[in-house]
Structure 1
Amino acid sequence: MTPAEIAAFETACAEVCDQVPVTQGPDALAQALQRILPRCDLREALVRGGWYRLGGVVTADGRRLADDLEHWVTETLARYDDDLAAMVESEADDSPFATRVLGKTHYWVARVGPEVTEFLQIELEELQEVISHRLFVPDVAPASLEDLIDPRPLPSPPIAVLGQPAYRLRRITLIREFLAAMREQRPEPQPIHRFVADWQRSSAERACDLANHWVFSLREHLDPYRQPIKHAIPVAALHGTAPRFAASDGARGLDLAEAIARFDRQIGYPMAWFFHLLTTKAVPQCVAATVVEDFADGFAYLPDRDLQIVRDWLHRPYVF
C-alpha cells in the first residue's frame, strides 16, 4: 500500500470508530472495517485489556469540572501554596470525584504484500470513562500528589459509569516500514529484527504467517536531542496465557523432545517453543542449551535450519 492509501484508510477507520457503537458487538466492527479495505483480509488478532488512563474531574451529581485531572489538581494545589494537607482539609466537605478511562486495545491485522512484515497493524481502543474515587476524603491525608490523583488499589467495581463505551483509532502502522525506520536508528540489528529474521529462516515461516500469531507493541519517545526513537516488542496473539511447558527440570532426550513437540502443537506451529522462550518466558532459557547438547550426543529432533537458529542464539542471545 502507498502512503496515500494508508492515510485514506486511516481517515475511514477513524470514521468507523465514531459510527459503530461498541454495544453492537465485534461483528459490526469487523464488517465496517472490511467494507473500507475490501481487497485485504482483515482480522482481529488480539485484545489486550486491564489498562487505564487518568480522566477528569466531576461533581457528585456528574457535572464535569475538568477534562484533565492532573492539571486541575495542580492548579487547585497552587491556590493553597502547594500545601497538600491544607487543600485536602479545605476541599473535603464538598469534594469532587476523579474519573478514569478504562481501556482495551484491539489489534487488527491485514496482509498487504508477500514479505513477512508487509502487513498493516490497526490498533483500536475501546474506552469507557468511570468515576473512580473521591478526591478529598476528610481526615485522610494522601502521602503525595500521586496518591491523591492515582491511588491504588481502587474500589472495584467503579463508583459509577459515565456514558457509553466507544471505539477510538489509536494508530495504523505498516510494520515493514516501522521496522525499517528502526534499522536506521542503530547500525546493529535490534532484537526485533533478529526475531523476524529467525522467524524467516525457521520452520515456522514455512508453516504459517507471522501475522497470524504475533502483533507488535509499538512505542516512540524523543531522545535528548529531540530525535524520535522507535521500539517494537513482539506479543503473542494468544487467548489467555501460553500453555505450560511440560518438561521437568533437567529433562533431556526423548522427554525434552516430547515436551517441545507438545508445546508446538498447542501453539500451532513448529519452533513455537523457541519464540516463546524469547517473549512469554513460558519456556525456560536453559532448554536451548539442552537441545544443542542433545544434538551433540546424537539425539536429533529438530531440522538443521532450526538447530542453527538455536546455536546462533546461544552464541549471541537476545530476549524481550
Structure 2
Amino acid sequence: MTRSAVRLPDAASVQVALAELDPTSADAALVPALSAAFPGFDFSLAHVDDEYWRDTRSVIRPDGMWIGELRPWMTAELAKDGGDVKAVWTRLRETDLQITEWRGTSAFVFAPTGPAAADYIQIALGREIEWRAGPIVNPDYRPWGEEELLDPGWPRDKPLPDSARLVGPVYRLLDRAGGAFVHVRSFLDRCDRVEREKREAKRPEMERRVVRETGPHGVTRETPFLELVPDYFEFVPREVRFFRDWEASSAGAQRVFTHWALDARDYTHKGEREVGFIPRPLKMPSDRLLMTPETTVHQLMDRIEAIDREIALPFGWFFLMTHGHWVEADVGLAIADALKAQRVRLPDPDAAVLLCWAEQTYGF
C-alpha cells in the first residue's frame, strides 16, 4: 500500500476504535484495534506513571447498583436539609452508600510516518479505571463546607485494593489543551510559524526599543535593542531545537518516540496563541545527575556515559538535561567549557550540538 493511499488517523475514528475495546482485554487489544482501523501504520504504546483523577464520581450501593452522579445527587441531599452540612453528614454516615472515582494514568500511542526524527504521529490517551473509593462520607471527620461533600478528597489518601476495581481499564482520548492528536512534523512547523508571527507583530515596538546604560561619569548611552539582539526575529523555538539536536547528534540513530512522549498544547489564552510541548522521558536513569563544587569534569563524563548506557541512548543525557529534572544544566555547561579547553572529548556531532546549546541554552 502506498503512503498516499494510507488513511491518516483522526480524533473521531480513534474514539470509535477506543469505544469498541472490551475493558477485560483493552491493554492487549489497543494496538491491534488501531492497526485494524488504520491499515499501513505501525503503532506502538507507552504507559506513563502519572496518576490523575477525573472529576466524575458516582454514588452506588454495596452491591454495585448505580444511584447517580455524586455532585447532583449530593446537591439534592443538601437541599433536603436546607443546606445544613452537618445534618447531611450525620444522616449519610449511617447509610451503606458508597462513592466511586475514576483514576487514570497517561498512555501514548505512536506511529512513524517517515524516516526523519519528527516524522510520526502521537495520540495522547488516558488509561482509566473506576474504583469503589469508600463510604459516601468520611465517618470519622465532619466536613465544614459543601465542597467537602460535593468533591471529597479524603478517599485519595490511600491506594485501593484490586478488589475495589469496578470498571476498566478503559482508554480515552485526552484533549488536554488541544494536544490529544498531533502529527509531530506539522506541529513543529506550527510552533515555528506561531512564534515567528508573534515576533513580527512586535517588530515596530522592537525597532523603537532602546536599552539605556549608565557608564563612567554618569553618562547615559542608548543602544537600539536590535543591535544587542540582532537575531531576535530568527529565534528558533525550543521544541524545534530539541528535534534538530536529536537529528544532528548520536541520538538520531533511534526514534524519538521510543524514549520520549510529548505533552503537547495548542490553545489561545487572552487572545494569544500558545503552541508547544513538554517532553516526558519514557526511560529514566536511577539517579539524578547534579552539579556540586567538588565534582570534576572527568567524573561528569563517567556519569553521563553511565546514564547513556542505562537508558540505552547515546547522548541521551543531553536530552534529559533539556528536560530539566534528571540532569542539571550546569553539567552541560561544565562539559562544554571542558570541550573548548580540550580537556574532554565527545563525538564530533554531539560536541557541536552541546557547544551550540551552551551558546544559547534552552530547556523545558
Please state how far the C-alpha of 1:75 moved relative to its aligned partner. Answer: 5.6
More RCO (CA 8 Å, sep 6+): 1
Question: Of 160, 166, 178, which aligns to 1:162?
Answer: 166
TM-score by length of 2: 0.72
AA at the equivalent of 2:287: R
Is the 1:245–1:259 Cα contact (8 Å) retained in structure 2?
Answer: no
Sort the Cα spacing of 1:10 and 1:88 in 2 relative to 1 into closer, same or farther, 3 A: same
**Partners of 1:36 and 1:256 in 2: how far apart?**
48
In the alignment, does 2:280 pair up with 1:235?
A: yes
Please state how far the C-alpha of 1:41 moved relative to its aligned partner. Answer: 1.9
The more displaced of 211-220 and 78-87 is: 78-87
* Aligned position for 1:43: 44
Please state how far the C-alpha of 1:146 moved relative to its aligned partner. Answer: 4.7
Sort the Cα spacing of 1:297 and 1:73 in 2 relative to 1 into closer, same or farther, 3 A: same
Is the 2:266–2:275 Cα contact (8 Å) retained in structure 1?
Answer: yes
Please state how far the C-alpha of 1:185 moved relative to its aligned partner. Answer: 3.5
In the alignment, does 2:306 pair up with 1:262?
A: yes
Is the 1:198–1:309 Cα contact (8 Å) retained in structure 2?
Answer: yes
Cα deviation per residue 1:58-114 (whole Å; 9 max; x = unaligned)?
1333332333x3454456546656553344345443474332112233212101123
- Residue 93 of structure 1 aligns to a residue in which SS? coil
* Aligned position for 2:8: 6
Larger Rg: 2
Sort the Cα spacing of 1:296 and 1:231 in 2 relative to 1 into closer, same or farther, 3 A: closer
- Residue 309 of structure 2 aligns to a residue in which SS? helix
TM-score by length of 1: 0.81
In the alignment, does 2:295 pair up with 1:251?
A: yes
User: Across the two proteins, how many residue pairs are aligned to each other?
Assistant: 313
Question: Of 193, 204, 226, which aligns to 2:251?
Answer: 204
AA at the equivalent of 1:115: A
Is the 2:8–2:38 Cα contact (8 Å) retained in structure 1?
Answer: no
Q: Percent identity?
A: 24
AA at the equivalent of 1:203: S
**Partners of 2:22 and 2:40 in 1: how far apart?**
24
In the alignment, does 2:259 pair up with 1:213?
A: yes
Residue segments in structure 1 that go unaligned for 5+ positions in a row = none
* Matched ranges for 1:108-123 at <5 A: 108-123=109-124
Is the 1:58–1:97 Cα contact (8 Å) retained in structure 2?
Answer: yes
Residue segments in structure 2 that go unaligned for 5+ positions in a row = 175-179, 197-234
**Partners of 1:155 and 1:46 in 2: how far apart?**
22
**Partners of 2:358 and 2:83 in 1: how far apart?**
54
Please state how far the C-alpha of 1:6 moved relative to its aligned partner. Answer: 2.9
* Aligned position for 1:311: 355
AA at the equivalent of 2:189: A
* Aligned position for 2:129: 128
Sort the Cα spacing of 1:151 and 1:284 in 2 relative to 1 into closer, same or farther, 3 A: same
Cα deviation per residue 1:144-172 (whole Å; 9 max; x = unaligned)?
45544232443432683323432334443
AA at the equivalent of 2:86: A
Sort the Cα spacing of 1:164 and 1:246 in 2 relative to 1 into closer, same or farther, 3 A: closer
**Partners of 1:307 and 1:101 in 2: how far apart?**
47
- Residue 134 of structure 2 aligns to a residue in which SS? strand
* Aligned position for 2:186: 177
- Residue 6 of structure 1 aligns to a residue in which SS? coil
Is the 1:236–1:280 Cα contact (8 Å) retained in structure 2?
Answer: no
Sort the Cα spacing of 1:222 and 1:111 in 2 relative to 1 into closer, same or farther, 3 A: same
